[in-house]
Each structure stands twice: as C-alpha cells, then as structure tokens.
Amino acid sequence: MAHVRPTRVLVVRPERAAEVVSPAYDALSPAERLSFRIQHPLSYLNVTQSPDPDSTHDERAALLEASRQALTRLLDTDVFTDPGQPIYGIYQLEIGDHIQTGLVADIAVSDLVDRTVRPHENTQNARAELLASHLRVVGAQSSPIALTYQGRDPIAPSLAELTSGPPFLELHTDDGLTQRVWLITDLDAVDPIIEALADHPLYLLDGHHRARASMVRAAETGDTDTGILGVIFPTRELRLLEYNRWVSDLGGYRVETILADLTVRMGLEPVADPMAPETPGDLLVYAEGQWYGARLPVDVISMSAASALASLDPVVLQREVLEPCFAINDPSASDRLHYLPGGHSLAELAAPVDEHGGMLFVLAPVRFSDMQLIADAGLVLPPKSTYFDPKVRSGLFVRWAEDRG
C-alpha cells in the first residue's frame, strides 16, 4: 500500500492568492514567463524559474539563488499562513463544465523508489538534476505531483463530504480556472480515504521529473522517510488530453511528397470540416492551409502491455511518419519537432504552421486504461504522450524539502 500521510505546509493567504499562485508553467512560452514574472513580482513563478538549456554552470547557480531570494521575499511579505500542524488539504479545480477534486497529502518518496507509485513516462537526467538542485538551494516544494488510483472510485464520497462547507480559499484566474482549497485539521476525518486507498496502487500522472528529483535528494540526504507533496484525484474525474506534434522544418522534404506517401499508406484525404480525433488511430494532418484526415496503421497483436505500447498513437506516428518521412530518429534530440498540448481549438493548434510553416499532426488522446496497463508492466510511454488538464498550480502550498525543526 502507498504511504499517504498528512503534510506540514504553509498555505497562501486567501487575500494574497491572486498575487502569488502561478499560471500553468507549460502554458507560457519562455518570453511570456519572463514578462509575467516582471509584471507579477509576488508570483510563485519567480521561485520556479528555469534556466535556458544552453546556460552555463554559473548562470544556473545565479538563477537558483534568485529563486531562493524570491521565496524569501514571499515569506518576508507574509503571504503565507502556517496551520501549525500537519494537515490534509482538499484541492478542487473547475474549468467550464469540468471539475476534479483531490486529496493533498505527503506521499512517501520510498513509494516512488519501489514503484508502489507507478510512473508512466521516462525522465531526463539533466532535468531531474536541475530540479534536485532547486531542492538543495531553494529548499521547498510547491507544485504537488498529481496521482490517481486503480479501480473503482473509493474516495469521491468522502471528498464530497469534506468539501460540503465553504472553502478556505477560492481563486478565479484569467484563464477561466477556479481553484478551491479546504484545510482538514481533523486528521481522523480523512481516515476513510486513507483506508480506501490502502489496497490500490497509485499512478503518477504529472510531475515525473519532480518525483525523480525528490528521489535524488532523498538518496543524497539518506532520509528514507521523507515525502513529496502530492494530490490524489479520482480517476473518473480526470481529463486526459493529447500531445500533438508540429514539425516546423521539413528537413528538405517536400509537403507534396509527404502527403502523397501518407495518402497511399494511411488513406489521407482532405477534410472540409475537421474535428479533433477522439478514437485511437484517427489522425488529423495540417499543412499549407489545408486539413487532412488519415488512419494510422495499427496492428494489435495481443492484449499485452508491450503490444499496447507499440500500438499507441504517439509511438505509431513516430515509427510510421516522423522517422521515415522527416528523418526525426530521436524526438528528444530534434529541434524541428515541437509538442503542442491538447485543450486548444484546431485553429489555435494550426496557428504556428500558418506563421512558420511545417506540418501539424493532431492525435487522439491516449486511453487511461492503456496507460495503466503499460505502467503496471513497468514500461513507460514516450515523452509527451499524455497531457492531463487542468494542471495543478504552484504557490498554493509550500512544503519544506527538509525538516526545519
């Protein structure tokens, strides 16, 4: 069973939440993040800023120190309150007609190490080390890793009961997201949730690099009992979207040649009124102002995890399109391949192609059942295969990475 425990955190004061809570990090470009930080000096985004990929060691060290100082400014400004005891939190995100409610708690890092908490994506060593350095220098976590559990819905009724009263804070942001937080100081009230989760493995949805960084830091300190801030959502409330692929530079290949090849192999044909794919295997292609529909060639050999992995749309697209048509053999090393998350209109997804050229491939979302099957087998999906939305935000909670006494 997973070790889910109350957490010792600071919580943003309701009257300061609009100033402090960050927008979704991945929703902003580097230039937009810089502009936002300048315009919002108390935003927690100033604490979580990342260096450029080609930055020097000294530049990274200076940025980490700036992040530490940004957190110190927030503490000196008294934007957080201390509940004075370990607590559980209830965190609710609402956007449009979608609502998801989760339990905020400490997750034992040892559960990440022994795979009681099951990941579904690989991590990059450099990115994990960068976040581990953030823990060393800044010494705090604020972005909870997001998790869910297998099987039926054992915790939703208890969550509904715990959120029947008014929240500690409610925050409405310009992107249409409403966030609500309830603080649970009566720890016994959460016992039914902890007991319900006892027989369920947890699945890591978002925050793979943060989880890996906590494992690195725990190994350094020798603290085998340390935790990481997490939020556990019911599976049925999750919104799993796709990650789309934009090839910005065709690498010398001609659009007409690629379209002709896909017509032969995948039944590509123009679409006058395109709709975002919902069924695995369905594909939309956009190039030179025209949408096309196609069907990815998928041969399901068995119901095994390996077969499920081989037949995932991102895997098939890489194998059947990106590699043979564009010579993109290593997606992680290509500066011609860009990942565009779902949740946007087709016009918004097509905008970079209209402005900069290239070709866009819009996929159907990966099914959660496939992700679960693959994770249970100890396998991992390619990077940028899943996009869970809405994202949990930084700045609501601050958990010290080590015990400060």
Average pLDDT over residues 316-338: 93
| Residue-range domain boundaries for the chain | 4-9+82-239+389-400, 241-387
Average pLDDT over residues 51-74: 90
Half-sphere exposure of 395 (CA within 13 A, CB side): 30
Domain over 4-9+82-239+389-400 is classified CATH 3.90.1530.10: yes
Provide the 8-state DSSP code for 121. B
Average pLDDT over residues 139-155: 87
Beta bridge partner(s), residue 88:
184
Q: Is the CA virtual torsion 150, 210, 315, 249 positive or negative?
A: positive
- pLDDT, tens digit, for every residue of 357-405? 999 999 999 999 999 999 999 999 988 899 999 999 999 999 998 765 4
Highest-confidence range of 14-28, 211-225, 283-297, 365-379, by mean pLDDT?
A: 283-297
Residue 355 has pLDDT above 80, yes or no: yes
Confidence band for 300, pLDDT divided at 50, 70 and 90: low
Highest-confidence range of 30-39, 138-147, 194-203, by mean pLDDT?
A: 138-147
- 292 alpha carbon, distance to own chain's centre: 29
Q: What is the spatial distance between Cα 117 and Cα 321, in angstroms, rounded to a whole number?
A: 33
Structure-token pair, residue 250: 């065709």
Q: What is the pTM of this model?
A: 0.91
Token pair 């708690």: residue: 105
Token pair 């192609």: residue: 353
Q: What is the spatial distance between Cα 259 and Cα 265, in angstroms, rounded to a whole number?
A: 10
- For residue 105, give the nearest of 248, 234, 9 by alpha carbon: 9
Average pLDDT over residues 33-61: 89
The pLDDT value recorded for residue 272 is: 94
Q: Are 351 and 259 in contact (CB under 8 A)?
A: no
Lowest mean pLDDT among 142-156, 277-291, 327-341, 364-378: 142-156
Average pLDDT over residues 275-303: 90
Provide the 8-state DSSP code for 202. E
Average pLDDT over residues 199-216: 92
**385: Cβ contacts below 8 Å, ≥ 6 apart:** 121, 243, 312, 314, 366
The pLDDT value recorded for residue 401 is: 86
Average pLDDT over residues 258-262: 97
Token pair 């990815």: residue: 296
Q: Are 381 and 314 in contact (CB under 8 A)?
A: yes
- For residue 36, give the nearest of 15, 22, 18 by alpha carbon: 22
CATH number given to 241-387: 3.30.1760
Q: What is the spatial distance between Cα 287 and Cα 115, in angstroms, rounded to a whole number?
A: 42
Average pLDDT over residues 66-73: 97
Name the strand (E) or helix (H) holding 179: strand 178-184
Write down the mean pLDDT value for the chain.
92
Average pLDDT over residues 231-240: 93
Of 197 and 349, which is predicted with more confidence?
Answer: 349
The pLDDT value recorded for residue 405 is: 46
Average pLDDT over residues 20-49: 90
Residue 54 has pLDDT above 80, yes or no: no
Confidence band for 224, pLDDT divided at 50, 70 and 90: confident
The pLDDT value recorded for residue 64 is: 94
Q: Are 381 and 205 in contact (CB under 8 A)?
A: no
The pLDDT value recorded for residue 402 is: 73
CA distances from 244 to 82, 149, 207, 286 (A): 41, 26, 19, 11
Confidence band for 230, pLDDT divided at 50, 70 and 90: very high
Neighbours of 147 (CB within 10 A): 27
The pLDDT value recorded for residue 299 is: 67
